[in-house]
Structure 1
């Protein structure tokens, strides 16, 4: 089971895109769409600080890492949850786990596995620190309970050399279509097919034909 396109966009909207390494609310070096060293290389703490010279390239790299990181979080949710899930429920749980890493120990998972979806939905709000995360928890709860996906563009934020993100105004906004295009794996280039070698017989026929035309 994988996140739906709408779920991917909702998660990207929650996270936003920062095309340079930054310090998140816990002081962890992060890059792109919530990528940290815990998810695997590259380690954002070792990346060049500040805004990159090529922002477009950095945004593409952010989405590449996001796509790669998601596989582990999706697998974690599938291991932790023992009951069937609707696509919107799965999307909400992966979003929660991507942010908290707590799917295996969360009360919402215990309630869900016990068959109590109402209590599971309410338990999203057990994870409400820092206070700035509460709107996201509420959105994840509503997605889980009602299938209500958030809408809007995906902000791209600037960051300084100290890892401080400027949330006053996004430097760019990505549409859903732009984000989905970035999330699709790059198509491998198809090498040009060389012309087949000409046989000696064909070359001889061509040579004789040329002589005949000249006479």
Structure 2
């Protein structure tokens, strides 16, 4: 698997959540959509401050960045290994969060088949402490094929004047994502495979 699928896009989306207007993250950095900052090359501030965008626009930019800026280095890191869909999803989620796919020691160990050593190295990317649960979900996906999303993602409001995300509402974004990944698809041709509903 060397391209995005709706399931891959939804998995990362469920980890990150979506905010329709610019907000300040835990470090005070202006952020928008699915964890996008100006460091991505897409200008966030002041473009989206007090300027909420439709969910479809948020997802369109997120998918574009995922495909153009994050997928190539992940595929380069995997080299000749053709990742399964769940492996690509986990690696993309890791790289989107850390930007470290090229220097993470777990990759070489994974490619050599050293699964326990790779898993241990993967789980050491555990700072700040709030990331630990996400890293465990990514590890379960990478090493066991255990998907955690069901087509839904948290969509946050923004509190003002603090500009912090609040009150997430879980929304089913599977159809919107599928339409953006494969425009013009017949309605019945792209069904997101859903695991058991989130508790």
Q: TM-score, normalised by structure 2?
A: 0.80
d(CA) in 2 for partners of 1:109 and 1:26? 28
- Residue matched to 2:191: none
Which structure's residues are more often strand, by fraction? 2
Number of residue pairs matched by the alignment: 179
Give the superposed CA RMSD.
Answer: 2.0
Query: Does residue 79 of structure 1 match 2:70?
Result: no
What is the CA-CA distance between 1:109 and the residue it aligns to?
A: 1.4
Q: TM-score, normalised by structure 1?
A: 0.75
- Residue matched to 1:59: 55
Query: Does residue 173 of structure 1 match 2:170?
Result: yes
Q: 1:114 to 1:67 in 2, by over 3 A?
A: same
Which structure's residues are more often helix, by fraction? 1
d(CA) in 1 for partners of 2:130 and 2:51? 25
- Residue matched to 1:69: 65
Q: 1:143 to 1:48 in 2, by over 3 A?
A: closer
Unmatched tracts of structure 1, length 5 or more: 188-215
Aligned pairs for 1:123-202 (under 5 A) are: 123-152=121-150, 153-161=152-160, 162-166=162-166, 169-170=167-168, 172-181=169-178, 183-184=180-181
Which has more radius of gyration? 1
The superposition leaves residues 113-165 of structure 1 with CA deviations (integer Å, 9 ceiling, x where unpaired) of: 33323322222211111111111100000000111101342111011343211
